[in-house]
Amino acid sequence: MPAPTIRRATPEDAEALSRIGAETFSETFGHLYPPQDLRDFLESAYGLEKTRRDLADRAKAAWLVEADGEVVGHAMAGACDLPHDEVTPTCGELKRLYLLKRLQGDGTGSRLLAEAFAWLERDGPRRLWIGVWSENHGAQRLYARMGFEKVGEYEFIVGQTRDREFILRRG
């Protein structure tokens, strides 16, 4: 199979981005939450109207991964809004990075990460941040290899569930 392709998402991709966002989040983390909490979260984070607003926001960028004509992953980056005292308006954040399970472990996530970092640092090196679930050891290894270090923690709230999240920083 040819390597998956990566391209910037445009406002016309709102439906595709909304769909793959909900699908990959559910596949990765859906088991952690009661079904109604998960549905409410998906609507607020990946619903069509929210996705349209994200794509219209010039301070954010999103990417789609495609394989065999199908959307199989996505990423999003923008200004950092993680809750940490040292975040400033010039800080960038990798906000999302997801592939469908069947595409994982083949180097595509690293390529997607490189695209997002290149966009975040298009005007030169910049302090970058990532929030990651404390139990997501695979992603933490990937980010550590890219130079990220844990500098804090916060609670990521989905309905009644409070997840322990690590705050990572580079630069």
Ligand X SMILES: CC(C)(COP(=O)(O)OP(=O)(O)OC[C@H]1O[C@@H](n2cnc3c(N)ncnc32)[C@H](O)[C@@H]1OP(=O)(O)O)[C@@H](O)C(=O)NCCC(=O)NCCS
**Selected range binding ligand X among 13-21, 34-42, 62-70, 131-139, rule: CB under 6 A:** 131-139
Q: Which stretch binds ligand X (CB under 6 A): 3-11, 46-54, 77-85, 106-114?
A: 106-114
Question: Is residue 104 near ligand X by the rule CB under 6 A?
Answer: yes
Closest separation in Å from C-beta 49 to ligand X: 23
Q: Is 136 in the site for ligand X (CB under 6 A)?
A: yes
CA-to-CA distance for 166 and 136, rounded, in angstroms? 10
142 binds ligand X, rule: CB under 6 A: yes
Cβ closest to ligand X, residue 124 vs residue 144: 144
Provide the 8-state DSSP code for 101: G
Are 65 and 6 in contact by the 8 Å Cβ rule? The answer is yes
Site for ligand X in 1-30 (CB under 6 A): 28
Exactly one of 55, 109, 158, 168 binds ligand X (CB under 6 A); which one?
109
**DSSP letter for each residue of 10-33:** -GGGHHHHHHHHHHHHHHHHGGGS
Helix, strand, coil in percent for the chain, rounding step 5: 40, 30, 30
| Residue closest to ligand X when measured from CB atoms | 109
Q: Which is nearer to ligand X, 56 or 110 (CB)?
A: 110
Work out how close the CB of 165 gets to ligand X at its nearest, in angstroms, rounded to a whole number.
Answer: 9
| Residue 160 dihedral angles phi and psi, to the nearest 5° | -85, -5
Helix/strand/coil for 110? helix
Q: Is 132 in the site for ligand X (CB under 6 A)?
A: yes
Residues near ligand X (CB under 6 A): 28, 97-99, 104-110, 132, 136, 138-139, 141-142
